Amino acid sequence: MKGIKHIVKGAPILPILQADSVEQALNIAKAVEASGLKNLEVVRRTDAAAASVTAIREAFPDMVVGMGTVLSPEHAKEAVDAGSQFLVTPTVSPRLLDGLMSSGVPFIPGTSNPADILMASEYGLTELKFFPAHLSGGAPMLKALGGIFQHISFCPTGGISGSNLNDYLSLKNVFAVGGSWMIPSDMVKAENWQGITDTCKQALEAFEGLRP
C-alpha cells in the first residue's frame, strides 16, 4: 500500500522517457536533470527500458527513477531488479495490484474511471494515476471525482501539455503530473538536448508559479 509522495524529489512532475538505447536514455536524463527536475519515469515500451533504468540510476544518483507501463507482476519484478525506485501502471486488475503490493517499492496504479478507482481504493490505495487524463474527462473529471473519492489524490498523465498543465496542478486532489510533452520525440530524434531542458524548465516554472 505504498504511494510515491514520500520519495518524489522537488517539484511533483514526472517527465516520461521512452528511449531506443541506453545512450539515448542517458542523454535525455542529463537534459532533464539540467532543468532542475529530479524525477523520471522510464516507460517499458522498448527493449532498452530496464537497462536504461539501471544506467540512469548509476549515472544520476540524485534522481528518482521508476518504470512505467508495468502490466504484470513479472514486469514489476523486472523493474525492481533493474533498480526502479517506483512503478507506474496504465491500468489495474486484481492480479496486477497483488503484484504491485508485493513488489516492495512505491507505485501508482493507473485508473480512468470510478470503477478502477474503487478497486484500487478497496486495496487501501490513496495515490493513483489518472490515465489517459485528457480522453477520460481531463481536469473537470478529476474535479468531479474529488467530490466522490475525497481521500484519493491523483497523478494525471496523458494529453497534458504546457497549455493545460495549470488546469491540473491547481486541483486539490492532484499530487503530481506526468507527461511526455516535456521530452518531445522530435527533439529526441534531433538530439536537441537543450530543447528538452528548456521544455522541462517551463513545466517547473509553471509549478513554481502556483505556489502560494
- Backbone φ/ψ region at 37: left (φ over 0), alpha (ψ -120 to 50), beta: beta
Interatomic CA distance for residues 72 and 92, integer angstroms? 10
Which SS3 state, helix, strand or coil, does residue 44 take? coil
If one counts every other C-beta atom within 10 angstroms of the C-beta of residue 100, the result is 27
If one counts every other C-beta atom within 10 angstroms of the C-beta of residue 82, the result is 20
Whether the ω angle into residue 132 lies within 30 degrees of 0, i.e. cis, is yes
Interatomic CA distance for residues 18 and 31, integer angstroms? 14
CB 126 within 8 A of CB 153: yes
Give the bridge partners for 178, in sequence order.
14, 157
Active site members: 41, 129
- Counted residue by residue, the chain has a size of 212
